[in-house]
Amino acid sequence: MTAASRLSPLDWASATLVVVLWGLNFVAVKTALITLPPFLLTSLRFAITAFVLAPFFRPRREQIPAIALVGLVLGIGHFGLLFYGVAGMDAATAAIAVELAIPFSALLARFFFNEILGTGRTVGMVVAFVGVALLAGEPHLPGMAPFAAVVVSGFAWALAQVAIKRLGTIEPLALNGWMALFASPLLLACSVAFEHDQTAALAATGVSGWSGVAYTVIGSTLIAYTLWYRLIARHPMNQVVPFTLLGPVVGLAGGVMLLGEPLTWHKMVGGALTVLGVAVVQLLPGPTVHVAEEPEPGT
């Protein structure tokens, strides 16, 4: 390993900070959802992100239609459904269940790009799905609709990775900014169609709610993504990807310690199996399914 590729103490600190910021994003979202409906909240997040990034990072003209598709799939299919799910269930459970995005990505990579899964990765996917099935038996889960929405949002994340991969080379912050530019009005339309009393919700949102909104934009998007892109520019992916496996652990701990969510055996065992299965899918030798432009589902 060369000195250029070796993780320095500052790199370790940066990678750890990124994972903590992403893991606690579920807590921030849950806090903001106390008053804000999920589609409206998601629209606000992307509107602010687009305002900050889109004017300064431009994609190539021929990439814009594909970015618009990513905005639809990732904006509504992933984040919209994820926030809808988090509104109706524990943040800790959602942080674990959304990790099915990685096995879904492996399956879609096999279908679209003929990437070989292998026995080890197939077993890893089965273990991850068993873990999420245990989460579905969580006694504090109020209903299956929010849980199903989070699982579907994981599939949407994986589907978006196919579209991103076909985009070719693109500045990651340009992708984030312009994807947000297309996603925000679509999500606002969903809010108008399926939610109500948006004005009252905005007026009722206090300091903690707006702090949650600010966190999802500043902490989870601008700071974490900037640090992440610097890390993957300096080091091989197989050195930095393992850090993302700590994200569900942080999300679980944040939900329990900061939101007072119950810690049940379903979360502990189901979460452990899910993370183990995802780790096998990500880290076994072979074609990687991890996409740098959108490094962690739910962030």
State the amino acid at position 265 in one-letter form: W
Distance, in Å, from the CA atom of 105 to the CA atom of 287, rounded to the nearest integer, reads 11
In the chain, where the domains are located: 9-283
* Whole-number pLDDT of residue 173: 86
Least confident of 7-11, 198-202, 259-263: 7-11
Task: Report the pLDDT averaged over residues 50-58.
Answer: 93
Task: For residue 193, count other CB atoms closer than 10 A to its CB.
Answer: 8
- Model confidence pLDDT, tens digit, residues 72-99: 999 999 999 999 999 999 999 999 999 8
pTM of the model: 0.87
Q: Are 259 and 94 in contact (CB under 8 A)?
A: no
List pLDDT tens digits, range 225-256. Answer: 888 878 877 777 667 777 888 888 899 999 99
Residue-wise pLDDT tens digits, 97-127? 998 888 888 888 777 777 777 888 888 889 9
Say yes or no to pLDDT of 156 above 80.
Answer: yes
Looking at residue 289, its pLDDT comes to: 45
Output the pLDDT for position 3. Answer: 45
pLDDT of amino acid 290: 44
Please say if the pLDDT value at position 5 is more than 70.
no
d(CA 251, CA 149): 18
The overall average pLDDT reported for the chain is 86
